[in-house]
Structure 1
Amino acid sequence: MLSKIWSRGGPAAGYLVIRHLKSFALLVSLPIGVLFGWAVPGLTAALVELANSERYAAAGYLGRSKAEPLPSALSRRTGDVVTLFKDRSFRRSLRCLLMPVVMIPELVVAIVSVVGAPSAVLSMLLWKVESGSASLMGLDVTSWGQALTLGPLQVLVSLGLLGWVTPALAKGHARAVLTMLEPSQEQLETAKLEQRVEELTKSRAGAVDSHGAELRRIERDLHDGTQAQLVSLAMRIGIAKQTMADDPEKAAKLLDDARDGAEQAMTELRGVLRTMYPPILADRGLVGAVSALAARCPLPVELRIGELGEVPAAVEAAAYFVVAESLTNITKHSAAGHVDIQFERRGSELYLAVTDDGIGGARVSEQSDLLGRGSGLHGMLHRVQAIDGHMELSSPIGGPTTVEVILPCG
């Protein structure tokens, strides 16, 4: 029974005591905040953070999921009072100033509920040692009759406060905090839009960088490969034209070499084009293209593909290259013995997961590590973000490694 009462009242009393300590610190710092808050942006931002910490603590005590925080205080210059009073988060967090007012009676109840029973037992046992120095229920104890009457009464009152009153006060306080400091719906929508804009800005910058790197790669491949082949082809044809009359056999040999060079140039050009949009996607679709990648992989690959429906071309290409890059990374770096690939449609999104049983330790980085790992995953991330997708990498040391990608198809 006592353990049940303590399990109810102990956390409640602790919650209220901590709230009192924070409200006391707020009360002490209040004159400084009032005098200098308009001039020091950090003080008003700290008040917003205090309000959010109170919301988190209240939600935690009530066993709720993490409460929606107030958006951060608006950035402003020193002495910018206009921005200060336009800041909705700051105005809402001013309600924290009510904490010192309501916390005194709550603190008294919390302390009495915790120390009331132990002090009653001590007073009952020790009142005779120093007669008149012990008190029970606020009355001085001068006889065993008072001790044996008021002592159990104080224990019962204390246990009642601990088991029922203190938890009720703590819950009421937590609910009041969540209600009073709750951001408005407009604030939440604005914060979500700002976060979305920030995410899109980052993904756009990444997509632009990735696109630029891809263009440079294509230009380098064309310059170093196909263009060199075409220049050599033109020179051979020119030499064959000059020697046609004097040495027909040599000219014929040069033309044969030129034909072989033309075929090689076409092969290299097709290879460059495949990196832009693989023809196999147009010929066999995403399922057939991924099946071909799995068939060419030197490791055993298990494919689990559900009904995908209609998938946009950009999403098909991104998914194809994610699988291709993943299989390449696994083959080169993972020391895996098996690969699992899962495709499925989840509403308006395409879900893709590639899992291997290798050594793990994969990380997304702009530059390759000493083992040549990381940059390929960085390119995959940019390719996914470029079409507003999301990629998660889980690769603990020792494995397994899982790459999960969600691509919008709407």
Structure 2
Amino acid sequence: MKFRFAAAAVATFAAGLVFAQTPMPTPNPVPAAADAAPAVVATPPAPVPSTSTAWILMDYATGQVLAGENIHEQVAPASITKVMTSYVVAAEIKNGKVGLDDQVMMSERAWREGGAGTDGSYSGFPVNQTARLEEMEKGMAVQSGNDAAIALAEHVAGSQEAFASLMNSYAAKIGMKNSNFVNAHGLTAEGHYSTAYDLALLGRALVRDFPETYAYNKIKEFTVGSITQPNRNLLLWRDQSVDGIKTGHTSAAGYCLLSSAQRGDQRLIAAVMGGSSEKQRADDSLALLNWGFRFFETHRLYEAGKVVTSQKIWKGKADQVELGVSQPLLVSLPRGRYNDLKPSMDVPKVLEAPIAAGQQIGTVKVTLDGQVVAQAPLVAVSAVEEAGFFKRLWDAFWMWWESE
């Protein structure tokens, strides 16, 4: 009799562990080809920018770094700073602090420090006159107007110094850990710096959080009064898939370009810092984008809220708890390697109710050639309430039995 009880206990216990001990099947399997697939050829190295001091290529969907050098080295961001300014203005619009129809004053300070009388780029809005916030922002994004950047900063925060504090607060939320901003335009200043990695994160955040604002960056020319100026991003004329983001140049920073392109469902972001010329930064950026699109692909492995696996649970009104991911799990990998992915789970062997919906239970990991390329928390898709007294007592007995 005892043997039969023991056998039943072992069977129950084994059933409860099967998911924790057995790797999951490959997510969203690709049908096998009729003929044998050709041997996988190693991905060639990325085309290294010829003179840049720091550079990076990032996958937009996953945030994975596909290639780069000196990506965390602090460098002068020049006018790429204005992408941070655009982000802050868009966020303050979303928060109801300012509006697109606000009349923004081109102050004396903005005109003197960033207007036509300076060595930097300017928008040409008349001093001591106002313009709609949206027009002023286009003057900053398309024409790279330093005067427009200062005017926007003053309108949003009262002064450029106060606006810089907002820039640093939003940068921290984005995850820009090695950046500090002291002005809204990017002219060289002590303590004003960023990194190629942080700027790629910033570009990713602008595309994701404020696509309407991001769209200003693909406008090829903009007119203020009688002055029409072209966008300085040469890639907008070279490749239709490129839709941003921002150029920058000072003597300290060299020629810089933060660019992004989308082909099909895939978007990439490149940052090339410290280049030698406008042509060089454009050539090198396009080479990186082309390499990334040619040799990498992005896959959605698991959808948010969908069941990935079910696990045995004790003392609950239900006998199983369904687990999934709270955010879509994506991965970027070399083309042709999708079927080589190996998913696995790390889940506690014993689970007890109650479990709340959204509660983290374990982790799902996906590896390629032994390296983790994607991971995410496994959470309860739905709650499992605690069972009544007798069910809990019965489960407690079996838990004790199986622990012997």
TM-score, normalisation: structure 1: 0.20
Q: Which is higher, the Rg of structure 1 or of structure 2?
A: 1
TM-score, normalisation: structure 2: 0.20
When you count strand as a share of all residues, which structure comes out higher?
A: 2
When you count helix as a share of all residues, which structure comes out higher?
A: 1
